[in-house]
Amino acid sequence: MDPEKLMKEARMAAENAYAPYSKFRVGAAVALSDGSVVRGVNVENRSFGLSNCAERSALFTAITSGRTDFEAIAIAGPDAWEPLPPCGACRQVISEFCKSETPIYYDDGKGGFISSSVEELYPANSLMDLSTQ
């Protein structure tokens, strides 16, 4: 899928973010092998530690429908003033389901995006790449 298009999906998703505490809306979009897209948003809670990131929401939503054929992930934060790569917890979750070479596109905080990959953001995971088993 065209990275620009996937980033646009993520940006649109962010409109549905539930972020009353941080006021930091994040949207994510995962592209599946048939070209379909599943969106996710960050969902916060008054007990802050329970907040769920947008990319995990998108992955979990797809998995709920039995889909794990992830081809790419995009993360957008319309309120971001700096690059928005996935947090450590999300990198771990992403590594459970995505191949090392799976592209990850994330907001650069300036209206564009940065192209990365699971391998780049979570190095050494290829040693135990569950997604290829």
Of the listed pieces 47-55, 64-72, 92-100, 123-131, which binds ligand THU according to CB under 6 A?
47-55
CA–CA gap between residue 90 and residue 39 (Å, rounded): 15
Of the listed pieces 53-61, 64-72, 91-99, 121-129, which binds ligand THU according to CB under 6 A?
53-61
- Residue closer to ligand THU (CB basis): 7 or 54: 54
Inter-axis angle of helices 3-13 and 54-64, nearest 10: 100
Q: Tell me which of 6, 7, 14, 19 binds ligand THU, using CB under 6 A.
A: 19
- Cβ 84 vs Cβ 107: under 8 Å: yes
- Cβ 41 vs Cβ 27: under 8 Å: yes
Kindly identify the residues of this chain, within the stretch 74-103, that bind ligand THU according to CB under 6 A.
75, 84, 86-87, 90
